[in-house]
Amino acid sequence: MPHKNHNYEKESEKFYDNIAQRFDHSFDGFLASFFKKFIIKHLEVPKDASILDIGCANGTLLSMLSKQTKIFGAGLDISSEMVKIASQRHPQFEFKQGSAEAVPFPKDNFDIIICSASFHHFPHPDRFLDEASRLLKQDGRLVIAEIHIPVVAKLYNWRLNRFSTEGDVKVYQPKELVNLFQEEGWKIVKRKIFLQIQYYELQKL
């Protein structure tokens, strides 16, 4: 449950608006690059797939995917500054500002939805999973690449709730995510855990 003293989406919006211009050279951008590379390595993308990147930042992941095969790309980010930069850098894709819990795209619109190092920012992950189900075409895939902190997760989450101003809600243990996906009616079709990354490809049951 969201912590009562946080407005996570507002915190995320403010933080990423402030670092948007220097995101690629920031600590957050540095960490995000590892998740992007992991996705590029493990995700099989069919030609002409329609892809939505949730928490797209400056659009780099869509650009990386488009170098592998032809795609129709769209991105969503909570930060209007990130969306502005993404639109300038990658005009071939469509970018929108908004919440992952109320995504401003029509239903049955995407073959693949990607959420790279963003899921831990969502105050109500069940609402995001409902939105992903609405947005995906039949047999579409939801890809979630998340932080993996196996030993000190409880301490880390306590620190987030107490001190973080970046919109981080919590980091999840793999068992928590597996249970959440099952409770919300998703089937895990691929799962990998490597160092600080946990990776899931999901389909709606």
Helix/strand/coil (H/E/C) assignment for every residue in 72-106: EEEEEECCHHHHHHHHHHCCCCEEEECCCCCCCCC
pLDDT at 156: 56
pLDDT at 149: 85
Average pLDDT score over the chain: 91
pLDDT at 142: 98
Q: What does the pLDDT look like over 93-149, one tens digit per residue?
A: 999 999 999 999 999 999 999 999 999 999 999 999 999 999 999 999 999 999 998
Q: Do the beta carbons of residue 178 and residue 148 sit within 8 Å?
A: no
Contacts with 80 (C-beta within 8 Å, 6 or more apart), sequence order: 13, 17, 97
* Terminal Cα distance for the chain, rounded: 25
Flag whether pLDDT at 1 surpasses 50: no
Flag whether pLDDT at 23 surpasses 50: yes
Provide the token pair at 72: 């129709």
CA pair distance 111, 52, nearest whole angstrom = 8
Provide the token pair at 92: 């071939």
Contacts with 175 (C-beta within 8 Å, 6 or more apart), sequence order: none
**Percent of the chain residues past pLDDT 70, beyond the cut:** 90
**Percent of the chain residues past pLDDT 90, beyond the cut:** 81
Flag whether pLDDT at 88 surpasses 80: yes
Q: What one-letter code names the amino acid at 155?
A: L
pLDDT at 187: 97
| H or E element, residue 53 | strand 49-54
